[in-house]
């Protein structure tokens, strides 16, 4: 029986250590779950507060711009200039495309004229040859 007592005493510390490890692991897992749950609640709240702050700032800026007639005129002038720039840029693109198109048409016309001259010369040669055979 002495051997069984010695086995019991050596087994008890190992069991206690295993229980302590399991308890520690459970505490760690519980802490991790707690942290994740806390983040799951805090993140949306923080995000909504940031959106609220941004929206409030934007509304204050708009209020400053449009509540005075000077601010309103300044914004209208800004919009007018922006529109004029866009119109001018568009007109420039149209002119550029038109010039490019005209150049291309002119080049093709020259090619067709050269080809028609060559065809005309060949037809005149055939006609001359045919007339020579007829006469």
Domain parsing of the chain, residue ranges: 30-134
Q: Which residues contact 60 (CB under 8 A, 6 or more apart)?
A: none
pLDDT tens digit at each of 135 positions of the chain: 445 554 455 556 677 677 777 777 777 888 888 888 888 989 999 999 999 999 999 989 888 877 888 888 888 899 999 999 999 999 999 999 999 999 999 999 999 999 998 899 999 998 998 888 887
Q: If you ran DSSP here, which 8-state letter would residue 105 be given? A: H
Helix axis angle for 2-67 and 69-134, nearest 10°, is: 90
């Amino acid at each position: 029986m002495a051997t069984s007592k010695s086995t019991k005493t050596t087994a008890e510390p190992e069991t206690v250590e295993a229980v302590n490890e399991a308890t520690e692991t459970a505490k760690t897992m519980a802490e991790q779950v707690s942290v994740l749950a806390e983040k799951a609640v805090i993140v949306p709240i923080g995000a909504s507060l940031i959106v609220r702050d941004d929206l409030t700032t934007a509304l204050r800026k708009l209020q400053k711009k449009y509540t005075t007639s000077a601010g309103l005129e300044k914004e209208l002038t800004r919009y007018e200039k922006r529109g004029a720039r866009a119109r001018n840029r568009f007109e420039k693109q149209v002119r550029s495309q038109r010039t490019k198109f005209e150049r291309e048409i002119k080049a093709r016309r020259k090619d067709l004229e050269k080809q028609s001259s060559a065809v005309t010369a060949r037809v005149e040669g055939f006609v001359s040859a045919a007339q020579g055979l007829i006469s």
